[in-house]
Structures are given as C-alpha cells and as structure tokens.
Structure 1
Amino acid sequence: MRHCLGLFLLLISAPLAAAQLTLDLGHGQRQWQTEQLLKHPQARAIDIPKDVAYKRAMHYRAVPLASLLEGVDKDDHLQAVALDGFAAEMPAGPLLQPGPARAWVAVEDPHQPWPGLKPGKPSAGPFYLVWTDPAASAIRPEQWPYQIASIRRLAPVSERFPALLPAAELSAEDPVRQGFALFQQNCLVCHRLNGAGDAQFGPDLNVPHNPTEYFQPGYLRQYLRDPQSLRHWPQARMPGFPETVLSDQELDALIGYLAHMAGRRR
C-alpha cells in the first residue's frame, strides 16, 4: 500500500510530457518538439492583456507563427486542428504579418504548466495561437485556437466543400455571401453543414434540420448571443457571440446564410 501511494504521488507531481506540433505546408511534414520551440531563435516572452481562452491577462513564451510557415504565401489558406477536433480555418495573410496584430504560437513548458481552462480541465496547451494587439486587425475569438496538434495548408473552404456554397446567382453584395464568410470564421471551426467540413466537435447545422427551422427568430438570436441563457448545462462549450464579436448587422447576415442553406440541403 505504501509503495502504491508513493507511486501515485510521484505520478501526480511529475511534469507534463513534451508535445509535438505537426506542420503540413504542402512540401512534406515537419514536426516541432516542445523543447525545440522553447529554444527557437525567435522565441520570446510575451504578455497578452486579454487572453481569449483564459479571459484574463496571461504571460507566455512564444514563437512568431510566421517564422514557422516556410513557403506559405499571404494568399494561402491554413487550418489549425486541435486535439479535440476543433478545426480553425484561417487565411494566411494575417498570420504572416509582422504587426501591429501579430500571431504567435505560445508553447507550454512541461516544467511550468499553464493553469487549467476550468477547474479539473486541461490547459490551453501544449500549443496555443495567441495575438498581440488583435484589435488592430479585427482578430476574432475563433482565430485563437488552443490545444493545437497540427497546422496545414489547404485549398480554401469554398473549393474543398462546395456543399457549403450559397446559390451562384446571388450578387457579390448579397448579405448571404457575407454570412457565408462569417460562417467560415465563427461556425465551421466546430460544426459541419450539409455534411461538409473538417470539424468533429459540434453537430451539423443543416442535416437533418437547420436551426432557423426549429428556433423562433428571437430565441435563435438569443442563443447565438449567449447560449447558456437559453440552454444551460455544465458541460456546454459553445461560446456566445456578443456585439464585440458580431455586430447586429453581421448576426443578421449569418442567420440569413443559415436560412438560405435550409433550402439547399443535401
């Protein structure tokens, strides 16, 4: 019994295991180990005053993401995949810019682990995409993926998943097209639609039914603004989209896209 207790105490006091970040940028895969990134020539300490995942000020050792994106062009499209299947679709341009909004890969040191995101939950590590001065480029919360396992270069969403496209006859200025862009930024990270998408986390938003078909309009807006105000359960993970993230006009466009796609179920 004493031996077992000693082994248990040793296990819970042991540091976290080092992790691996896989980059697949179209010219073969490269793996970066935790220790390599912590010692990267451009690694530095950064302060994030309003961290999206922790909702408070945080301090990290981080590497500029652009320094890892060898061969990537500003017009390319990247996808960050998290350990839980969360898949963030991101144009490469903002990720490559040197500032004022700048993307960093924060690296969790196994010997100095980050706090859990909630009591009893894991941290945002081992790798977390964070931004300095995000307001300068209107960076949205979904552009802060955490628990990242891999980053890969892919064709744009519209080419990979034609089942997500609105009707071709819509004009370029139609709000539904803006809604489609907002859907890619804010919803596709967790959800699929018409079976299309890479995320494994949330339910499909058109099959078998579309939210605009079973939510009254006012309740749908309330749900998107603050899901817990309408459906409360302890393990809920869907974030709300306050006006600082989606304006009323943008929310209308997003709902308009969903309603439009209810007529394009596949």
Structure 2
Amino acid sequence: MSKEKPKLHLEINPARLAEIIGSAVFSSTEVVKLHLNSLSDENLNRPLEGTGVLYNFKGPNLSLDQRRAMHESWILAKAFQELLRAVRHALEEAHVVVALVTKEHKIRSNDTLGDFLMPFQRKAAGLPFPDLLEAVNGLLDQKLEFAESYKSLQAARNCLEHRAGIVTNIETKGGAEFALSIPRLKIFYMRGSDEIEVAAGERVDPGDERAEVEILMKIEIERRTVRKGDRLSFTPKEFNEIAFACFRLGQQLASRLPKPKLNTGTT
C-alpha cells in the first residue's frame, strides 16, 4: 500500500518586496532631509563636540562651501547606497520567488527550509544586475525598466563616495560630460493626447467638459549632464523624487509577480 507523499506548504508574500525597498526609501529620505536642510552656515561654523570624545582630528582648512560640499557628498553617497542595496535585495528575493512558483520542486524530507532555498538564493546573488533584472522580467507581464537607471545611480554614488562628487574622466568616459539617467515618478493626466504633469498649486485642466479626470503615474527617465571638473550634487527634492521612483518600482515588482501554479513535494 503506497503512502501519499507529504506536501511542503510555503507562504509567499509579494508585499515583502515592496517593504524591502520602502524601508530603505524611508530611512534614506529621512537622513537626507534632516542633514542637508541643517547645513546652515551657523551649524558648519560651530565647533564639533561629543560626550566622551577624547581625540580631535585636524584636517585641511575648509571654507564653508567646501565643508558643505563634503557633508553633502558623504550623505548622498550613503543614501544612494542604501537605495541601490534595497533594489538589488528586492530583485534577488523576486528571482527566488519566480524560480519557486514557475515549476515543480522536490525537497528531501530531512532538509530544512534554509537548505531548500539556499541554491536559489545563491544563484540570484551571483547574477550581475542587468542579468538579474532580465531574469525576473522574463516572467512578468509588464516589464520593469530600471537597468539603465541603476547603472547611472551606481556611477553617481561612486563619484560621490570616491571622488567627493567631482566629475572626472571615469564618469565622462573620456568625454566632456557625465550623462546621467535619473528615474523619477511622473504624476500626470491626459489633455487630449498630451501628458500634463500635476504640479502643486496648479488646477487640473483636461481641456474638455469632463467632471472627473484620471490621475496616472509612471516611472520616467530624466536626462542630466554634469561637465567634467564640476561637482555632482542633488537637492533634497531631487533625491526625494529618485527615492519615490524606487518606491514605486517596489510596488510594481510586488504586484507583477506570477502567481503560484504548482505544489512542492518531498522525497
């Protein structure tokens, strides 16, 4: 008499992917807003003090502008690093989920859940970002377009961290300008065939007799160039828009994952 094979029940929560990016968006925007808005002349001129600090370190004599630039570059580099880390993490988790729900798997009865998941996690972690995004996109009905933005933001982070935000031949690739592809969330409505962006304080005018207007959102790419030798920087508003685009990416990723079709058995 044959015994029925036991089944392993896995709970998959796609909302977790949005939470990974959402958490990084919250922490990075909180830090950027607090610190960049506090870089007043008074604060920068104030002697640095701390409870229990035994040593003070003397560095170069910096002007107020130089000191402000140093703080901005350091903060923005860490903030971009946090955003990009979260996007990468969410895509790795999505890669594992896609691998699990799109085919049947077997697990040995003496394996733990960690043992079962490890090969999937290792494969996702080993993929370069473009390959990782392509693998996840391969099974999404609507594709995520973020490879160009990720590469551009990574280059911006490296410039801020390793070159204090000063654009060099590394960023320009031997040319005169550093070309950036910055993601931003566009909120708009349609006026005929034109996309009219919603702006604070401006009345929505669809140009016809409609009593209600559908408000639409999409991630779009904003092109920006910085000349070699100039300093790369972002205002809190600009960083907020980039972070919001990343947040929207997490929501799209969570909502577009394929639904489970098969069960997982044990051997």
TM over 0.5: no
> Greater strand percent: which structure?
1
In our comparison, the structure showing a higher alpha carbon Rg is 2
Q: Structure with the greater relative contact order (CA < 8 A, sep ≥ 6): 1 or 2?
A: 2
Name the TM-score, length of structure 2 as normaliser. Answer: 0.19
